[in-house]
Structure 1
């Protein structure tokens, strides 16, 4: 029976490319009956990367237990971010670079986790340690995940090791990754072609923060005015989604990828967001977040601390 490999819901470029690169890792390890799949359609940025490196788009699944009894998780571990029937299958492997929360298994599990800028950086280490070949295509896909998660090495999540990996991937891929990376990131900022619903779902993750159901979405742009022009409609979509899914707090972070600044909008209790960032919402219902570009390092930790009190 085929083992399915997938990243988190509302997948970003790192999540989808990790599934592909880790599936290839498994094949080189002798486990050929694996398939990289996705828990959502790829966004425009990810499609650009897959098209550029001539990689087919993984098929999207809604559930796993109807077609397999074993899965491997990449770029996530938290239950609420995974396939909804994960408790009905055996998790064989977890490769991640996030916090560990709401995760347990009935059987022993292989886990590889490192505090690196992208999950693909972790997988890169696994390839090197095993002595496996990294083709130009796989190198390009790994680099795409690293570029996406670190905003071309500008995010505070970027480590010196990520920079070293980036340089090695550039040699393996045989292209100028800085030039490619900027094109890839810009491909994901064409907001005019996206609906309000797509904007709030495109890069959203759910978190349990001390019993509070928190949803955090991030929208990358090269012009925050595009977000401001649609703010009311975006907040209407956030309110409808929060009511439907039972989110206690829905926070959208809009990030200017060129200037490394963000602004936040919220549905729910503003006080925890203000406490987390030490700032107040203005009269336009926005909270300025200068220098904030990383959900993982600059948004989730302070918000988690605020809910713990």
Structure 2
């Protein structure tokens, strides 16, 4: 089975983040060595939803954490033993599998206990007395299995042993004293002893050395409702191993049972495993059903999740747990942050207006035909990120890509872009929290931690209506103490201008210095639509 690689963009994903993940995963699945899964790091925006629905593409699954989980470990897919099965079966399986413990399950494959070599050894010692099979409610079927026996007559299904185990000798006087009602009698082919045992009320005769039972003996057994079991083993062997027919449930450990679900994180279970007395631990599904057994070595050898970062290169902008993942590729068009990797990786960073432009070039370089829906996704992302070529981040390469992709996707890109922007401007069904986080990123400049978001619309009136609530939301966020400053771009796509809202001590002063513009509570910035190329560089320089 191929290793899985998650292709994912940043948190609060925009259209480029989603479409580049989908498009690049499609390409990699045709040229790469692994299984590449497109994912998203947050809820999709109305604009992205419009794009996916237009090209009939399924929304990527949500990826919330990249820390290694139990499902990433190569644990044994061991089958469990049923609680009613003989303990000899657990002993045999442990030997064949070369492990020290087994999960015990009920009729629905739900884990109810665990049995180890030590538990089985205890059972051999404790089950040596003649009443052990009665005490442990041992099924007749277990006795038949352990002795490799054959039932000559009598009903054994759903019946348990009810009397002591007796080894009959050759003396009728001795037998008469030992055997009572419900006894299980181990004997050979002495007809007199066999009949005497049944007359005394024995419920089961175990005929050793494959002793035959004639018609008269079978008839008497049926009359007395006595079970006849035949085995090729001798009386000594039978007397030694019959105690191994006690059910596993009798000696399994059920209290304080440690078991894990596949989605639990390795880092969280390590302390629990270290303190556990067993070397193996059951892995279960959400309904408690057995999936396998996890060992301490499995935990140590668990591989990190493999990930390809698209449309970002800073771990803190990505999925939780990115620091513990193995980044194998990065495709991005932003400034290079503080990314560190253990091994060399494929890293393509270009000064384009969109990550999908990079993906488009990789399709060309690898001579892979771009299907209509993937062309539509990439074209949409480029139009979105460049605001239909109005952003200063737009390059001739972006424009050329749109012209070709629009033709493949069979769209008139100008009309389509306006429809897409209109969908993005529909905030009626969104809360202020959702609107603010549609396109929001956090940054660090020296000692200053700050965030910059962007809300774009083709309607200035709609932006004005949202302004007051968004400013209030920003102020509440500042009160949490996580960031020093928060900035929000209210971008008018048609007018190609931005009103910059500011929150936090010194934020408005910092913005005035960065853009050399006056403003009381916010700044009006003409010909400004790009966070990456116009807002972040100016703020970063002012913060130095």
Over aligned residues, Cα RMSD in angstroms? 1.3
Instruction: Describe the SS at the equivalent of 2:61.
Output: coil
The alpha carbon displacement at 1:229 in A equals 2.7
Residues 274, 280 of structure 1: 8 Å contact kept: yes
Alignment correspondent of 1:281: 519
Residues 261, 289 of structure 1: 8 Å contact kept: yes
The alpha carbon displacement at 1:58 in A equals 0.6
1:47 aligns with 2:49: yes
Distance 2:522 2:460 in 1: 12
1:29-178 matched pairs, under 5 angstroms: 29-66=31-68, 69-178=305-414
Alignment correspondent of 2:538: 302
Correspondence for 2:25 among 1, 4, 23: 23
1:181 aligns with 2:417: yes
Alignment correspondent of 2:488: 252
The alpha carbon displacement at 1:32 in A equals 4.9
Report how many residues are paired. 306
The alpha carbon displacement at 1:56 in A equals 0.2
Greater shift in the superposed pair: 220-229 or 197-206: 220-229
Residues 68, 324 of structure 2: 8 Å contact kept: no
TM-superposition CA deviations, 1:49-77 (whole Å, max 9, x none)? 00000100011121012456110000000
TM-score by length of 2: 0.55
Structure 2 unpaired stretches of 5+: 73-304
TM-superposition CA deviations, 1:236-288 (whole Å, max 9, x none)? 21122233361111000000111111101111122111111111223xx2210
Correspondence for 1:218 among 454, 464, 469: 454
The alpha carbon displacement at 1:227 in A equals 2.7
Distance 1:190 1:233 in 2: 16
Correspondence for 2:500 among 260, 264, 267: 264
Distance 2:327 2:447 in 1: 25
Greater shift in the superposed pair: 116-125 or 183-192: 183-192
The alpha carbon displacement at 1:211 in A equals 2.7
Larger Cα Rg: Structure 1 or Structure 2?
Answer: 2
Residues 421, 458 of structure 2: 8 Å contact kept: no
TM-score by length of 1: 0.96
Residues 497, 525 of structure 2: 8 Å contact kept: yes
Instruction: Describe the SS at the equivalent of 1:37.
Output: strand
Residues 191, 221 of structure 1: 8 Å contact kept: no
Instruction: Describe the SS at the equivalent of 1:303.
Output: helix
Distance 1:296 1:289 in 2: 15
Residues 218, 254 of structure 1: 8 Å contact kept: yes
Alignment correspondent of 1:292: 528
Alignment correspondent of 1:3: 5
Distance 2:512 2:429 in 1: 32
TM-superposition CA deviations, 1:199-223 (whole Å, max 9, x none)? 2111001111123111000001122
1:209 aligns with 2:211: no
